[in-house]
Amino acid sequence: MLETRRNGRMLAPWTYTSEELCELEIDHIFRHQWILAGHISELTQTGDYLTFDLAKERAVLVRDESGEIHAFHNVCRHRGSRVAPDRQGNCGHVLRCPFHGWTYQLNGTLKSVPRPQGFPELKKDHNALVPIDLEIWNGFIFICFEGAQGRSVANQFGVISGKITPYQLEEMVPWGAEYDEVVDYNWKFFHDVDNEGYHVPVAHPALQELYGRDYCDSYLGNIPMTTGVVDDHPASSWSVARYKSLLPRQAHLPEENQRLWLYFGLFPNTVIYFYPEKAGFYMSLPQGAATTRVISREYRLPGENRELAAVRYLSGRIDQITGREDHDLVRRLQEAAHTSVFPMNNLSDLEDGVLQFHQQLKALVPVMSLEASPAPGTLADVNTTLLNSSS
């Protein structure tokens, strides 16, 4: 993928500060792409539901009596209330809107309406919850608000399936609390930091001690893959030293995965990762040009033992340290985007992932290729013109 460096240019600073562009990104990227919304282990019983908000859109995922998982717009057909108000829960055998009590079967059809004589014209058949395209891949549930139009998750990410099969992701159960925080930077800067390992030796001393000697960024197809093998060298960080010495062998994992930390970038906004003792994901969800919601959840195989619990605690501490360090790095990029001297196109070969990400974005929203922002109010039109001229 190094041709990206030779041919490509980075995104200009205005793309990180424009509210108008942020709306375009949501419309043209997030609403059209498969977005990871949860894991099947969060919906094990009939009536278990999980909600997921993306900018102005809201979804509810629910498991029905036959075991099938559905996704709907979390918008009541009466006057628009959320039918599932909480992040997660169990609704029994119906989704009942908390506003006036319209109830929906778990397959989305409208079941009953209080005081139906007040709606002489109401056609129940025409008032089912509006479905959202959904696909389950290796236990992860993906949704696509605008409709996938034949594009499947399995096709898009299939090239990495062989690498993650040994981890038995479909068998995993949630572990620990969900991380859900709103941060004050652009969602793309979150990935610009995450998409390269050039900064690891300097910015992440603990991670460097853990696997820095072996760290490698590469691609499987066009999917960015990062690997680091936990070595046996002494470490000054208490968590890293303990993790290295305690990490037990796992019978279900091949030899090369026994001490491997493995990450994949799923365009546009998610990283899934696999350590010997757990798996998880983290993602960015834009809420504005400089406001982003960051969500992370983790999973483990059922069956607990003290050794694994201990190493999960330790890797959690290392992740926390790394997360705090990255948070500071991203905030400094956001500050820089507002200065008059934001540097561009000074990237090392080791930062190729940054350019690859930018090129994928420009292909979908070509106005992002411009060095300066179009006049206010014209962004969408300019983008449409560029899209038409390239097709």
Q: What 3-state DSSP class applies to 334? A: helix
- Residue closer to Fe ion by CB (options 54, 183) is 183
Q: Where are the beta strands (DSSP E) in the chain?
A: 35-39, 48-54, 57-63, 69-73, 88-90, 94-96, 103-105, 110-112, 133-137, 140-144, 173-183, 216-220, 223-229, 260-266, 270-275, 278-288, 291-300
Nearest-approach distance from CB 85 to ligand FES, in angstroms: 11
Minimum CB–partner distance for residue 105 and ligand FES (Å): 15
Q: Least distance from C-beta 133 to ligand FES, angstroms?
A: 23
- Alpha-carbon distance 223 to 213, whole Å? 23
> Closest CB to ligand FES among 6 and 56?
56
Of 8 and 228, CB closest to Fe ion: 228
With CB under 5 to 8 Å by kind, the binding choice for 100 among Fe ion, ligand FES, none is ligand FES
Least distance to ligand FES, CB of residue 100, Å? 3
Give the 3-state secondary structure of residue 90.
Answer: strand
Please give the helix or strand (H or E) that residue 319 lies within, else none.
helix 306-337
* Residue 61 to residue 174: CA distance in whole angstroms: 16
Choice between 76 and 148, CB closer to ligand FES: 76
CA trace torsion 18, 24, 30, 32 (10° rounding) = -170
Residue 89 interacts, among ligand FES, Fe ion, none and using kind-specific CB cut-offs from 5 to 8 Å, with none
Q: Is residue 326 close enough to count as binding Fe ion by CB under 5 A? A: yes
Nearer to ligand FES, 79 or 338 (CB): 79
Work out how close the CB of 378 gets to ligand FES at its nearest, in angstroms, rounded to a whole number. 37
Report d(CA 45, CA 237) in Å as an integer.
42
Residues that bind ligand FES (CB under 6 A): 76, 78-81, 97, 99-102
Query: Are 327 and 189 in contact, with CB atoms under 8 Å apart?
Result: no
Out of ligand FES, Fe ion, none, which partner does residue 326 contact, by CB within 5 to 8 A per kind?
Fe ion
Q: Give the footprint of Fe ion on this chain (CB under 5 A).
A: 326
